[in-house]
Amino acid sequence: MTATSCCRCERMTVAPVAVRHIERASGPGVTVYACPDCAPLLTPGPLPAETASPAGG
Ligand SMILES: [Zn+2]
């Protein structure tokens, strides 16, 4: 297995966890990986209250 660098702590991990997928106009998207330790910190919470939009607009 190829080691992948974590997008948060930039450490090499042999068990990368996909935390985000970046769409690109040209070519395929890029999947961002994080180490198992950072994955739970980067994954958005399931709570809908977390996605509250800012007032005004
Ligand atoms: Zn990490």
Give the distance (Å) from ligand 1 centre to CA of residue 47. Answer: 23
* pLDDT per position as a tens digit, 6-21: 999 999 999 999 988 8
pTM over 0.85: no
- For the chain, the structural domain boundaries read 4-40
Compute the average pLDDT of residues 39-53.
Answer: 66
Give the distance (Å) from ligand 1 centre to CA of residue 2. Answer: 16
Which of 4, 33, 28 lies closest to 18, judged by CA? 33
Give the distance (Å) from ligand 1 centre to CA of residue 52. Answer: 27
% of the chain exceeding 70 in pLDDT = 72
19 contact partners, CB below 8 Å, separation of at least 6: 7, 32, 33, 34, 38, 39, 42, 43
pLDDT at 8: 93
* 42: confidence class by pLDDT, cuts 50, 70, 90: confident
